[in-house]
A and B are shown apart, each in its own frame.
Chain A
Amino acid sequence: MKETFGHYLETTLASIGDAIISTDLEARVLFANTAALSLLKVEASEILGRQLDEVFIIQNELTRAKVESPVKLVLREGKIVGLANHTVLIASDGSEIPIDDSAAPICAEDGSVHGAVLVFRDVTERRRAEATSRLLASIVESSEDAIISKDLNGIIRSWNQGAERIFGYSADEMIGNVISVIAAPDRPDEMPKILERIKDGERIDHYETVRSTKSGKLVNISLTVSPVRDARNRVVGASKIARDVTEQVRARAELAEQRERLRVTLSSIGDAVITTDDQGRVTYLNPVAEELTGWQTSETAGKPLEEVFRIVNEESRHTVESPVTKVLTEGRVVGLANHTVLIARDGRERSIDDSGAPIRDAQEKTVGVVLVFRDVTERRTAERKLHIQSSELRRTNEELSQFAYAVSHDLREPLRNVANFSELLVRRWNPSDSESRPFATQILDSVRRMEILLNDLLAYSQMGGPQEHPAGQIDTEQIVQRALANLKASIDETGVQITIDPLPPIFGYETQFLQVFQNLIGNAIKYCSERPPRVYICAHKGRNELTFSVRDNGIGIAPEYQKMIFGVFKRLHGKEIPGTGIGLAICSKVIERHGGRIWPRQGKRREAFVHGRLSRPGGSARPG
């Protein structure tokens, strides 16, 4: 019976999962079970009877120092000894196995020690699990995010450094405390609601909310809460990861505000604005654009611009190339061709004026086009009206000029006849009728005067007409010499002394300036009242203009008449000084047509000045 029980015990020991080795008082191996033999990688015969130290070699895992077998200590002290941590067993083949062990004395009923029993086990798996859990713990600890776990009552079970950083409370303060400590004052219901959902096994992802910190400050957080389940899959708590998104929320709010500001700006500006993507598809219309095109932004999204923004040439009615295509291909700001008409959805047409510009991203890549345009119908209408008026005015002027030409030309014919036949009459006069002869002479005189008048009028009306030479550089001195040659008769007759300073060239119509100088010099000679008569012609070069002056030592022009002398048929003198009153009108017309001005001046010494102020050659002188 005793034997049987002993065998039973041996069998039990042999089949236990832990490794067991027993020794006698001399620490010699008496027994080793299967688990022990397998860990040591030996046969029983190899170790039985040997000193434990020789077969059970253990080292400190970290220091690699040999560790004394606990059996020795047990035999010496007679009590149970646990093994130091981090012990590795060196197996017979040199492999290392982390173990966990303890030794106990084998005592008889009287308390005497007979030997020792060593119990040890392979802890490789446990170590690995421990390492993993340490790693996880350190990950949790070092995370930037707050990682908190709590039970279903909201009692905090773990609180990492991230949580401390974000909420200001330390783990010591919070573990065991209720999570509602960090609830935002204005959201009392939120946490219970979340907990309810967690209890139902739900998970909450990236939920943005606000929490209060230790200092009372509010932080924006993005929350992920997951249920924690036990081995039986029951929800026993919650783990939550909270990220401080205060910055992102602020940046997002700022961006939204900026967008809103831009949107409001675009909505409120007076010009129409359409934006497109890089394919020329409409992305936005501001209210003015909506009104002008007749489309709503909501209807146009993704439509090709050509469909919404239909433009044709005002005259040809041909479709005008979309400025957007041009902007996208050329990548620069493009103005629209003139005379473009926008056809709205309802067929209404408006003249528009517009430009397109590329929209570029931070990398300077064109990502779209912004088109800005405005309704210029009124302006175009006004322009057209103005154009019609000005051409009408031009036509009227031409007609007037033609009329003056016709009148002066056609009147000359009958007048010449009157003159010629009056003369013939005078020539063949009957000498006996002396009384009526002066009548014929009077007719002749009047006819001659009228003839001169008509000639001058003809010259005035023809100015700038088709017979004119083209405008060009004029040798002023040569023109003055030609004028003097034409005036030779009156120069000889009056014995006038004419002084001419050097005269710079001017730009304009030669025949017209010949007429100006001839008229001015002719007038000067006519009005020289003093003896000897003198005429002085000079030019003054200013910064931007040339001033010519023709001066005589005559009677001068009284201030009250200075304005009227340039009018047609205006004369200051009676028959004592011949003239038609057209000469200065011609001068005025010529100078004005050349962009200059002409004015008289009353000098102290009764000198009459007539200045023509003309732009320099190549300046703003307008051809007539």
Chain B
Amino acid sequence: MAANSCRLLVVEDNDADLFLIRQALDDYGILATVTASADGETALRLIDSFEAAAIPNAIILDLSLPRVSGWDVLRNLRDRPAFSGIPVMVFSSSPSPPPHDKHRVELLSNVRYVQKPIGLTNFLRAVGENVKAMLGEGSSSVQSKAP
């Protein structure tokens, strides 16, 4: 594995989107080891099983998932200190919840919410730019934690 390679957890049940996410990483020159999960349940199991050193640098999370939803995954992540500094990007085809849906808005307080854009170029750009930004955040936090 290359020195500048990062670990990415992608929770996405749509194979086509997963394919495009990989395409975006490629297009934007992001070297990443992608761990993919097609449902919330598997995602939670994966999150449980990560060795401390193998915890992903960023997470891309779809919301509408079979069985355990993305919201439950978010709630679960929030309760894990080991994941407290890991940036999460919610990547959903639905628009962000309205302000009066306080419960969900609160769950999203430290999360970037990106609606899956229409058009290939837009889609690829959304993934590429947001992942780059998240990795920047992650590495800075890693640096601050372990100088």
Contact = CB atoms under 8 A, between A and B. Distances in A.
At the interface, is chain B mostly helix, strand, loop or mixed?
Answer: loop
A419 B16 contact: no
Given A419-B119, A421-B16, A424-B120, A467 B94 contact: no
Interface in B17-48: 17, 20, 23
A449 to B, nearest CB: 12
Interface in B111-138: 116, 118-121, 123
Contact of A417 (B16, B23, B94, B97): B16
B16 A412 contact: no
A468 B98 CA distance: 8
B116 to A, nearest CB: 7
Given A409-B94, A412-B93, A420 B20 contact: yes
B14 interface: yes
Interface residues of A, number: 17
A128 interface: no
Contacts of B14: 413, 417
Contacts of A419: 118-120
Nearest to B124: A420
Nearest to A421: B16
Interface in A389-430: 409, 412-413, 416-417, 419-421, 423-424, 427
Interface in B81-108: 93-94, 97-98, 100-101
Interface string A31-55: 0000000000000000000000000
A86 interface: no
Interface string A299-325: 000000000000000000000000000
A468 B121 CA distance: 31
Interface residues of B, number: 17
B133 to A, nearest CB: 22
Contact of A416 (B94, B100, B118, B121): B118
Nearest to A468: B98
Given A413-B14, A420-B20, A467 B93 contact: no
A425 to B, nearest CB: 10
A470 interface: yes
B33 to A, nearest CB: 24
A420 B20 CA distance: 8
A416 B14 CA distance: 11
Contact of B116 (A416, A423, A467): A416
Contact of A413 (B20, B93, B121): B93
Contacts of B23: 424
Contacts of B17: 417
B119 A423 contact: yes
B112 to A, nearest CB: 20
A416 B98 contact: no
B59 to A, nearest CB: 21
B101 to A, nearest CB: 7
Contact of B97 (A424, A467, A469, A470): A467
Interface string A96-126: 0000000000000000000000000000000
B123 to A, nearest CB: 6
B119 A470 contact: no
A407 to B, nearest CB: 14
Interface of A: 409, 412-413, 416-417, 419-421, 423-424, 427, 448, 451, 467-470
Interface of B: 14, 16-17, 20, 23, 93-94, 97-98, 100-101, 116, 118-121, 123
